[in-house]
Structure 1
Amino acid sequence: MNHLNIAILGDTHGHLTLAYRVLKRWQEEEAQRIDLILQVGDFGAFPPPYRLDKATKRFAKSDPDELGFTAYFHGEPEAEEILDPGASEHRRIDADMIFIRGNHEDFSYLCELEGTDEGPVPVDAFGRIHYLKSGVPFTYEKSGHSLRIAGLGGIADEDGNPVKTDGGECYTKQDIKRLLALKERLDVFLSHEPPLDAAVAIHPKYAGAGSPAVREFIQNFQPAYHFCGHYHEEGQEISFCPTTKSYHLNAVGFWRPHRLNRGCIGILQWQGDHALGMTFLDASWLKEYTKSTYRYL
């Protein structure tokens, strides 16, 4: 293979096994491998003992997969058959996953991981899922290909601003300071919240919504690609800067039990130091994946 396949996931909210099962099927159908997985926040990082926010607690009552991170945190069989290097080829995914924070996570847990600026920090029992602190860049390299990645997790406060101190759903002034101190242009910029005013492309009801900091960063630093989530609407391009391709991704899950949310997974193809393009996963076989069947496919 002369290029990398990088999977982009929208808000997972704990639905990790669903995402992995779909990506494994993509590998089989396309006879290609996923090399890296990037996720845009609302990952669902709630390890036991559970410190759940109200929304997650409410959804978890009817959808236990909201707490799906537990299996990966502890290395339970559900996760072992996917991430363990010795697992059967039938289920195994060899790609690492990198995620940023959203506004529905265990923030106390994530804050404990933020003591280093050295890059992504592993959070699972297999060392395959990594948390990326806001404003901390890292370069992914494989087989002569490379891309530089950084993110801004969380959301703005109700006035559209960063907050002074960490500990919750909002990004901080220090997060912004680290981001604006970056010297090299990014190939991929991840944010949880879409840019201010760009979100109206998703739906008119989002007029005036979005993150001023994300918009400012894209305008001034012009990353090649930008991916975000948060609004749980059909995935689509929301580019507003001519030098940056910007995409919003849907939540990974089933708002309708019989159909995977449209535009919740993308595939970015990368060759050398540049992109070949990004497409949303939209194959006919996705119709087989429903809330009641996906674990058996």
Structure 2
Amino acid sequence: MKIAVEGCAHGELEKIYETIQSIENEEGVKVDLLLCCGDFQATRNLEDLQTMAVPQKYLDMCSFYKYYSGELVAPILTLFIGGNHEASNHLQELPYGGWVAPNIYYLGYAGVVKVNGIRIAGLSGIYKGHDYLRGRYEFAPYTDTTRTSVYHVRQLEVFRLKQLSDSIDIFMSHDWPRGVYNYGNKSQLARFKPHFRDEMDKGQLGSRPCEDLLKLLKPKYWFAAHLHCKFAALVTHDELDESREVAESSYENLSLRKKATSEDSEGRVTKFLALDKCLPKRRFLQLLDIETPVSESDIRLEYDLEWLTILFLTNNLTNVKSAKYYLPGPHNAASTERYNFKPTTDEMEHVRNKFASDLFVPNNFVRTVEPYNASESSNGYTAQPKAVINPQTQQFCDALGIDDPVSLALIIGGQELSYSSALNESTDTEFNDSATSVQTEQSSLNMSSSTGDAPSPRQISPFKRKSSSSLNLPKPISEIDGAEGEFQEKINSDELHLGNSSADEAEKEDKATENVNEVDSEVNALNVKPPVKKFKRRNQSLYMNESKEDE
């Protein structure tokens, strides 16, 4: 399968597809899949534009709305994750992933899918230590603070990804894993991006949770963006006690070590590649061939059974409060609470039965707002929209038996749940038919056993839904394996290709905005005591050195 990888899209979807088409014509190839590593900017209209955390001069509708409205259709299957410049209200409608337009699929806060057997995982957002331990309490319309915090990575998504046991072919993140620069040409990166030098010297450049996931999951490929440059590295997962020596070695010595690496290390290597943003003369796109375990002429997108089961098993850990909380772990020996959620065979079969053994992602895209109309003039001021419940999320949550975090946050915040008018009042015949199909075919996806007349999902509070019905879960039996240590670092200098060295004005503006907006305040004070499970303080030692992590 030929895959195109894009760095920061920044809303230039039309230009990206045109670039791919040009490459196909020149080289006589056919690209099967496009992966975008964040800052996708899926803005559907001017209201969505107001939820983006960018300086005013960068607010631009760009071209995504054309694919949302149906004016254009994505020529190839496109998968993407979120970054730190997104139409956050739109992506919040799909916390577990879903279609944002025909043939364009969002992986959610975190997600794992299969494309013709290739296993692709992703983590949206960027890491900030002061928000990492909080729940998903934000919802539109946002304050200046929540408009920024909404795209910060949270511990629950990372915790869920750490439960994966099967091998990962491709991992996508917006952030770079912390320390990955030690496995590539660090000195050349510092020359190209001088303002990174101090953070690299202090070991602070990149995401700490992504570093943990890289060492634990050991994917074959890891693609990232965010830092607006192209950088390649080869991460070898070897002896723990050699990692510090490698980090302190010179680039030349590491190159000699690379040549001496034997073939027995193959399979324990991650090929890391970060790409630039979509601009002329910038290295924002890379094509590569990946062998698929499933030989099919059609490109087919499937849910990952292990990931579905992890979502199901950890639903009770969902937290939508702004206060910091701690997830269960092995540190409290006296606790009988389960902390290892690696699914058993029985648990996965239970989830498989919920979907009647049909894990193909349904084509159930439906518009939930009116798309931007370029021919209509703006009145000048545009307010932020209110949070809307997406029928895709409603369908997915009802099928799997889990809760929608946005619905919970709205209920706890004393807000009414707003369902899209596209479900029953749309004047657009094509999308109204699609929405009706979503409702009438609910039973084909939601295979959890039920008899008799059941109330509509709209009439059921998310708090009343039981995610563990008819399943007796075993007691925790083993600790999560200790694969999160340090590993030997290594370089692949042959894969390093950097773009031009012009300074990036937008990047500096973004960082300035981040510093101004990220004030740690308790917004949307919750006066209603939520029926959300409280946990004893544990795992306090993880990710608590916030002063070093905040940028």
Name the TM-score, length of structure 2 as normaliser.
0.41
Please say if residues 83 and 174 of structure 2, whose CA atoms lie closer than 8 Å, have aligned partners that are also in contact.
yes
In structure 2, distance between residues paired with 1:131 and 1:166? 21
State the partner residue of 2:86.
Answer: 105
Secondary structure at the residue paired with 2:65?
helix
- Which one has the bigger helix percentage? 2
2:217 is equivalent to residue 221 of structure 1: yes
Task: State the 1:151 CA deviation.
Answer: 0.5
Matching of residues 78-89 of structure 1 within 5 Å? 79-80=72-73, 83=74
Distance 1:9 1:163, change over 3 A: farther
Matching of residues 123-162 of structure 1 within 5 Å? 123-124=100-101, 127-141=102-116, 146-158=117-129, 161=132
State the partner residue of 2:41.
Answer: 44
Please say if residues 44 and 68 of structure 2, whose CA atoms lie closer than 8 Å, have aligned partners that are also in contact.
yes
State the partner residue of 1:250.
Answer: 276
Secondary structure at the residue paired with 1:226?
strand
Please say if residues 163 and 170 of structure 1, whose CA atoms lie closer than 8 Å, have aligned partners that are also in contact.
no
Distance 1:160 1:227, change over 3 A: farther
Please say if residues 190 and 228 of structure 1, whose CA atoms lie closer than 8 Å, have aligned partners that are also in contact.
yes
Give the aligned CA root-mean-square deviation in angstroms.
2.6
Kindly provide the amino acid, as one letter, of the partner of residue 184 in structure 1.
Answer: D
Distance 1:249 1:166, change over 3 A: farther
State the partner residue of 1:53.
Answer: 52
In structure 1, distance between residues paired with 2:105 and 2:126? 20
Distance 1:280 1:147, change over 3 A: farther
Distance 1:162 1:71, change over 3 A: farther
Distance 1:160 1:217, change over 3 A: farther
Among the aligned pairs, what percent are the same residue?
Answer: 25
Please say if residues 160 and 212 of structure 1, whose CA atoms lie closer than 8 Å, have aligned partners that are also in contact.
no
In structure 2, distance between residues paired with 1:280 and 1:15? 25
> Deviation digits for residues 231-276 of structure 1, max 9, x if unmatched?
112x1203333411111111112xxxxx331x210112012349xx
Kindly provide the amino acid, as one letter, of the partner of residue 103 in structure 1.
Answer: N
Task: State the 1:10 CA deviation.
Answer: 0.4
2:49 is equivalent to residue 71 of structure 1: no
Secondary structure at the residue paired with 1:238?
strand
Distance 1:166 1:196, change over 3 A: farther
State the partner residue of 1:185.
Answer: 167
State the partner residue of 1:285.
Answer: none
Kindly provide the amino acid, as one letter, of the partner of residue 269 in structure 1.
Answer: D
Secondary structure at the residue paired with 1:231?
coil
State the partner residue of 1:164.
Answer: 135
Please say if residues 136 and 150 of structure 1, whose CA atoms lie closer than 8 Å, have aligned partners that are also in contact.
yes
State the partner residue of 1:291.
Answer: none
Please say if residues 162 and 216 of structure 2, whose CA atoms lie closer than 8 Å, have aligned partners that are also in contact.
no
Please say if residues 220 and 270 of structure 2, whose CA atoms lie closer than 8 Å, have aligned partners that are also in contact.
yes
Secondary structure at the residue paired with 1:182?
coil
State the partner residue of 2:343.
Answer: none
In structure 1, distance between residues paired with 2:16 and 2:58? 18
State the partner residue of 2:286.
Answer: 266
Kindly provide the amino acid, as one letter, of the partner of residue 187 in structure 1.
Answer: D
User: In structure 2, which of residues 233, 237, 253 is the aligned counterpart of residue 238 of structure 1?
Assistant: 233
Structure with greater Cα Rg? 2
Please say if residues 24 and 30 of structure 2, whose CA atoms lie closer than 8 Å, have aligned partners that are also in contact.
yes
State the partner residue of 1:122.
Answer: 99
Number of corresponding residues: 241
Please say if residues 231 and 497 of structure 2, whose CA atoms lie closer than 8 Å, have aligned partners that are also in contact.
no
Structure 2 runs not aligned, ≥5 long: 139-149, 191-195, 238-268, 295-494, 499-551
Task: State the 1:135 CA deviation.
Answer: 3.3
Distance 1:171 1:34, change over 3 A: same
Task: State the 1:14 CA deviation.
Answer: 0.2
Distance 1:166 1:28, change over 3 A: farther
Please say if residues 36 and 80 of structure 2, whose CA atoms lie closer than 8 Å, have aligned partners that are also in contact.
yes
Matching of residues 89-100 of structure 1 within 5 Å? 93=75, 95-100=76-81
Please say if residues 56 and 104 of structure 1, whose CA atoms lie closer than 8 Å, have aligned partners that are also in contact.
no
Please say if residues 233 and 496 of structure 2, whose CA atoms lie closer than 8 Å, have aligned partners that are also in contact.
no
Please say if residues 232 and 273 of structure 2, whose CA atoms lie closer than 8 Å, have aligned partners that are also in contact.
yes
In structure 1, distance between residues paired with 2:496 and 2:32? 17
State the partner residue of 1:6.
Answer: 3
In structure 2, distance between residues paired with 1:113 and 1:245? 29
Structure 1 runs not aligned, ≥5 long: 84-92, 254-258, 283-297
Please say if residues 37 and 225 of structure 2, whose CA atoms lie closer than 8 Å, have aligned partners that are also in contact.
yes
In structure 1, distance between residues paired with 2:55 and 2:158? 27
Please say if residues 51 and 89 of structure 2, whose CA atoms lie closer than 8 Å, have aligned partners that are also in contact.
no
Kindly provide the amino acid, as one letter, of the partner of residue 211 in structure 2.
Answer: R
Give the ranges of 4+ consecutive aligned residues of structure 1 lying more than 6 Å apart after TM superposition: 279-282
Distance 1:194 1:180, change over 3 A: same
Kindly provide the amino acid, as one letter, of the partner of residue 59 in structure 1.
Answer: Y
Please say if residues 10 and 41 of structure 1, whose CA atoms lie closer than 8 Å, have aligned partners that are also in contact.
yes
Mean CA deviation greater in 208-217 or 195-204: 195-204
Please say if residues 46 and 52 of structure 1, whose CA atoms lie closer than 8 Å, have aligned partners that are also in contact.
no
Name the TM-score, length of structure 1 as normaliser.
0.74
